[in-house]
Structure 1
């Protein structure tokens, strides 16, 4: 990447495989994408690429699909993986500064657009049958443990709060190492784990999933596409969140929505339980404020 070849070899491979299927305008877009440095490509919107190639945003999106991707977000995400592996986080931040500039109004527009992209991509990955299965697993649990691995503490805590308000008994942890081991002593086979993990596989993550399987707990994994491929047969259900290679919007956006879907799904199926939980919460709040 460092000054040698900043374009995407994966994208070039897709281009060579599919180029004969492209129309003239699609070929113009594809050739433009192939030549574009990755650290530029991941910040480009369909509208910007269309303006640069004299085409339309619909043509850009269609070209991404013709090249074998689900759309432009996946094209950027797959192309950007090599950058994530080979460039330090500080260098990526510097690239982000260069790409966005310091016009905060423009930056806000980019960030909102990326957030919409994250949500749209996450929705496209949603499998209704898997979601329904995950909700059923939560319904049957004695206690639902919401565990946030690495940076995913906020998502796990949000999920635990949302489920508790639907009448589900929950526990939450963002601990690691020996501390997490001490907390998991209380696990029982009738418990369910909802585990949030935003990044790549780690030794600790592998160990925990294996240990949970040994205990007999069912595991719902909320993760990205790479972990989904590796753990499809190792957990009870996988719900996929899509991040953005530009990092202008957080993976957490999709994860929070998935947590809300789980909680609301349980509430809809168990409306009296959810209503009773809301009433208890309101009573406790009144007591805490001295309004009883």
Structure 2
């Protein structure tokens, strides 16, 4: 928690009403949510009115909710040095025999914390945006691009128009020209804030295009300018990369969007599979001949071919 915000709460706590105390207790206990929630969402969780939230923010000495969000996110979103992160991970990885077990346990903990990190109402808001979009542009740079591509590919397979891009500079302008009021823009920006993000947001706002942000550390940078923020759990002190929770989140979003129109989703998959069959004129998979199977037997099943035992 940001010491400045903590200090401000301590200074004014005795002057607050019972509702105001519930609001600051929410800020203190849920800094991640405080860094992205709207006044209405904070009010619902603190069981007060929207006016009480705004009044409490002013009593804390902030000019508005945006400034308080940045204060709440200051400790959650420090600038991370990737070189130092790698060095820290290497110190935890000196026993290679335990490395797989450690990274698996860390990944399991990240998965368990994902529902706490992404509140249901925030997830539902993102689902509604994607389900209503005539087409979706997903933007991701560096290691975030595979996540962006996975989301766009999944949307296409369930009957939605979508595309992913990692283009920068002048070339990015052609991608942004797709945006309009019926579209949706998804930014996958876990750790790094680049100029392209700002330009994309500005263009989406200009055209009336709703914006979904998937991030780990940048919630406070964008919260005032996007429609909904999905904050994935911190990976700063664990071995797995942020890809683990981002891909889980993408899978969940795809299932949720599909559930809004199951017939459309099934038709999308049928179309994909029909075209695959026409393209390859049969099975997509390489036939498992006895000679190939003998080279790569399935564990505990001989060659793995039907009717053959482990004894041959």
TM-score bin (small chain)? 0.5 to 0.7
Larger radius of gyration: 2
98 and 125 in structure 1: CA distance in 2 versus 1, 3 angstrom threshold: closer
Shift of the alpha carbon at 1:187? 2.3
Closer, same or farther in 2 for the Cα pair 1:80/1:237, shift >3 Å?
closer
Equivalent residue, structure 2, for 1:271: 262
Q: What is the CA distance between 1:241 and its match in structure 2?
A: 1.1
Q: Deviations over 1:226-262 (max 9, x none)?
A: 4223333311111111231135101111111111122
Instruction: State how many pairs are aligned.
Output: 222
Stretches of structure 1 lacking an aligned partner (at least 5 in a row): 1-8, 18-66, 71-77
2:201 alignment partner in structure 1:
209
Give runs of aligned pairs for residues 1-292 of structure 1, distance below 5 A: 85=80, 89-101=82-94, 103-224=95-216, 226-246=217-237, 248-291=239-282
Given the two structures, how large is their TM-score scaled by the length of structure 2? Answer: 0.63
CA shift for structure 1 position 287: 0.7
Indicate if the aligned counterparts of 2:141 and 2:166 stay in contact, CA closer than 8 A: yes
CA contact (8 A) 1:145 1:192 kept: yes
Q: TM-score scaled by structure 1?
A: 0.67
Gaps of 5+ in 2: 11-27, 32-73, 284-312
* More helix as a share of residues: 1
Kindly tell me: are residues 285 and 187 of structure 1, through their superposed partners in 2, closer, same or farther at Cα, counting changes over 3 Å?
Answer: same
Residues 34-58 of structure 1: CA distance to partner in whole angstroms, max 9, x if unpaired?
A: xxxxxxxxxxxxxxxxxxxxxxxxx
How far does residue 284 in structure 1 lie from its aligned partner after superposition? 0.8
Counterpart for residue 33 of structure 1: none
- Distance in 1 (alpha carbons) for counterparts of 2:196 and 2:146: 19
- Taking the aligned partners of 2:120 and 2:84, their CA distance within structure 1 comes to 39
- Alpha-carbon offset, residue 192 of structure 1: 0.6
Q: Deviations over 1:210-240 (max 9, x none)?
A: 222112211111112x422333331111111
